[in-house]
Structure formats: structure tokens, C-alpha cells
């Protein structure tokens, strides 16, 4: 009699947004799938990754590897226009209404119930705290919840222009999370924001990435800095998605029970591989 192999892979649910990126650089334009989910799912090759995010047929028309819990439910997907000139980027948002999440389906609740890790990835301030709470109530009590809060640090104006603004949704969502990771570019005062978050009653671990400079970590009101090994510019394929890959591997290491400095080192190693190999 054959014995069934036990599934030992980590089950990860990415809950938030996906997007379509329209990028114009020095007069050349490209269109591609984007979002933390896109880059995280590509790097977590040994995990079962399920995505819960509103998306339309225009996203599915592009080549992607994402496994959504629920099929397409609309025509359009949140999109970003990025214009890059002389290393400076201007950004605008389109199809903002399509980023509003729909009520959770049975397959989405089933994926959450099976999740070892849930990574929250809002791209704009359209992932309400009450929706997040409902989703996490479907997960197990021991599920590790990580937050990439970028969308709660942005405001989209009537013309689609993106500015940095702290959302009132951030605090109640952060209160659900054991790990919070963001870039020093996401906030005008990232260290102040990090301390504000780590002082929540449940004391989440907070990590601030700083490109090729040491990452700042705060755990139980104690700070550490963990250096990375800078990659020579000529070896970098693309920096896009490196922060998302960093955060995902930090979550994996934390789930595995690694110490906080090893958690951050795991993020650095994965991000370096992404920078070199894309």
C-alpha cells in the first residue's frame, strides 16, 4: 500500500492588489504585470502561493505566473503610469475603482484557512481595515501576518497623481501584523514611522530597508542595523521588486523561527539574488 507524501511546503497567501505597469523610460515604453504579488510569487518557488486581489481581463491578457484563488471578476485592473527620466520618476494611477476588493469567496476563505503566512500588499489606499480583519479571521490563529504598507502611505489625487500621505487605515491593519516591512522611500520620516508602529501593544517587528545601506530593524523597542553587500551597478538587472522579495523572505525566515538579525539577513540575500538575476 502506497503512503501519501506529506505536504511540507509553506502555504502563502498574498492579499492586496496587483497592477499593470506602463513604464516610459527615455522615450521607450513597456507594459507589464506589476505588484509585490508578481515578484513575491516568482521568488517563492518552494512554497504554495495563492493571490487574493481584484484583477480584470486586461491583467490576464498579460503573461504572468500568479495563481489567483478566484478568477477574474471584471474588465480592468489598477494601473500605474511611470515616467522615468534622468533617474527621476513621476507616477500616476488609473482604474482606481477597480482596486476595491470584492467580498471573499469560498476558495479565498479556504486558501486563508490553509495559510501559514499571509502577506498584505496594498498598492493604494483601497484595502479597508474591516476587509483585512474579515480575511484574517478566516486564517488560523498561528498564521504569520506580514504587512508591506506602501498603499497606506499613499494618496491618489483626482488627476491620478500619487503623493505620500499616512492613511487612517494603517494603524488598525498594523495591529493585526507580526512583521511590517517598508522602504525609507515610502515615508518622509521612515524612522519615526517605524517607531510609531513598533510601539503598538503587540510589539510587531518592523524593518526599514535603505537600498544598499544597512536595514533598520526594531524588535521589542530595541534597534539593530543589518548591513547588506552592495551589488555593483553593472551587475544589476533591475531593482524593481527587490524590496518585495526582501520582505517575503523575511517573512519566511520569521515563520521558520530565525532570530531577528537572521530574518533581515535572509531578506538581504534574496534581494541580492533578485537584483542580479531578475
What is the rounded distance in angstroms from the CA atom of residue 90 to the CA atom of residue 62? 23
pTM equals 0.94
pLDDT for position 36 = 97
Q: What is the largest CA-CA distance in the chain?
A: 65
**pLDDT score, position 86:** 62
138: pLDDT strictly greater than 70: yes
pLDDT, tens digit (0-9, with 9 covering 90-100), for 70-127? 988 889 999 999 887 765 778 899 999 999 999 999 999 999 999 999 999 999 999 9
Q: For residue 168, which phi and psi values (nearest 5 degrees)?
A: -70, -15
The residue-averaged pLDDT of 142-151 equals 98
pLDDT given for residue 87 in this prediction: 58
* pLDDT value of position 7: 63
pLDDT average, residue stretch 161-171:
95
Q: Is the distance from CB of 29 to CB of 136 less than 8 angstroms?
A: no
Cβ neighbours of residue 210 under 8 Å, at least 6 residues apart?
183, 184, 216
CB neighbour list of residue 204: distance below 8 Å, 6 or more residues apart: 174, 177, 178, 179, 180, 197, 198
Query: How would residue 4 be classed by pLDDT, with cut points 50, 70 and 90?
Result: low
> Looking at per-residue confidence, does 26 or 224 come out higher?
224
Query: What are the tens digits of pLDDT across the range 232-269?
Result: 887 877 778 899 999 999 999 999 999 999 999 999 99
What is the Rg, in whole angstroms, of the alpha carbon atoms belonging to the chain?
A: 18
E strand or H helix at 40: helix 36-43
Crossing angle for the helix pair 129-137 and 106-113, to the nearest 10 degrees: 70
Q: What is the pLDDT of residue 235?
A: 83
Mean pLDDT, the chain, rounded, equals: 93
CA dist., res. 184 & res. 206, Å (int): 12
Minimum mean pLDDT among 17-31, 111-125, 128-142: which range?
17-31
Amino acid at each position: 500500500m502506497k503512503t501519501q507524501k506529506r505536504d511540507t511546503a509553506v502555504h502563502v497567501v498574498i492579499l492586496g492588489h496587483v497592477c499593470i505597469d506602463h513604464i516610459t523610460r527615455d522615450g521607450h515604453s513597456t507594459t507589464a504585470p506589476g505588484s509585490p504579488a508578481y515578484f513575491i510569487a516568482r521568488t517563492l518557488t518552494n512554497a504554495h502561493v495563492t493571490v487574493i486581489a481584484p484583477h480584470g481581463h486586461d491583467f490576464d491578457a498579460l503573461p504572468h505566473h500568479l495563481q489567483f484563488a478566484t478568477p477574474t471578476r471584471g474588465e480592468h485592473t489598477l494601473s500605474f503610469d511611470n515616467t522615468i527620466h534622468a533617474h527621476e520618476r513621476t507616477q500616476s494611477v488609473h482604474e482606481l475603482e477597480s482596486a476595491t476588493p470584492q467580498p471573499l469567496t469560498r476558495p479565498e476563505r479556504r486558501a486563508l484557512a490553509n495559510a501559514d503566512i499571509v502577506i498584505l500588499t496594498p498598492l493604494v489606499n483601497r484595502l479597508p481595515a474591516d476587509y483585512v480583519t474579515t480575511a484574517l479571521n478566516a486564517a488560523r490563529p498561528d498564521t504569520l501576518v506580514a504587512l508591506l504598507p506602501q498603499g497606506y502611505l499613499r494618496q491618489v489625487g483626482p488627476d491620478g497623481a500619487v503623493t505620500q500621505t499616512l492613511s487612517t487605515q494603517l494603524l488598525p491593519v498594523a495591529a493585526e501584523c507580526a512583521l511590517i516591512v517598508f522602504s525609507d522611500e515610502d515615508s518622509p520620516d521612515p524612522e519615526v514611522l517605524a517607531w510609531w508602529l513598533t510601539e503598538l501593544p503587540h510589539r510587531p517587528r518592523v524593518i526599514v530597508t535603505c537600498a544598499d545601506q544597512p536595514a533598520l530593524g526594531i524588535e521589542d523597542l530595541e534597534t539593530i542595523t543589518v548591513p547588506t553587500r552592495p551589488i555593483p551597478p553593472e551587475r544589476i538587472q533591475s531593482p524593481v521588486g527587490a524590496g518585495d522579495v526582501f520582505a517575503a523572505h523575511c517573512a519566511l525566515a520569521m515563520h521558520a523561527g530565525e532570530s531577528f538579525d537572521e530574518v533581515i539577513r535572509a531578506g538581504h540575500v534574496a534581494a541580492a539574488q533578485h537584483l542580479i538575476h531578475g
